[in-house]
Structure 1
């Protein structure tokens, strides 16, 4: 799942309609599989960032997902 996060991008968080307003689901509202994928997305980003030299890290630290990096 971590490799999938890097190759295919992060989980697209599902949305729900609540009182006529559409919002992104909270982590607690995700299914067990989607929670696992969200955790793997975070781990993939951290693995990539930790492997970078400090000068390169300074350039890419504003990216939110491993695929962008």
Structure 2
């Protein structure tokens, strides 16, 4: 529950990046995240779903395009 509240109050995990051998930078894939990062990402999605499910249909239609529960 604390991680869901953290996600709502502070925003989602900022996905870490990797510098490739050729010097390009890319965002880590889910499989490359640490256990703690994966947990936070999962709770970020849960927080978004909880917030969206609690909205009346007309408000949901407006807020549905937001990806971050804090923005909703």
What TM-score do you get using the length of structure 2 for normalisation?
A: 0.93
Other-structure match for 1:28: 31
Structure 1: any 5+ residue segments left out of the alignment? none
Cα-Cα RMSD: 0.6
Structure 2: any 5+ residue segments left out of the alignment? none
Q: Detail structure 1 runs of 4+ shifted over 2 Å in the superposition.
A: none
What SS is found at the alignment partner of 1:16? strand
1:17 aligns to 2:25 (yes or no): no
What SS is found at the alignment partner of 2:15? coil
- Alignment length, in residue pairs? 69
What does residue range 35-46 of structure 1 map to in structure 2 within 5 Å? 35-46=38-49
What SS is found at the alignment partner of 1:11? coil
> 1:20 Cα deviation (Å)?
1.5
Q: Distance in 2 between matches of 1:55 and 1:21?
A: 43
Other-structure match for 1:7: 9
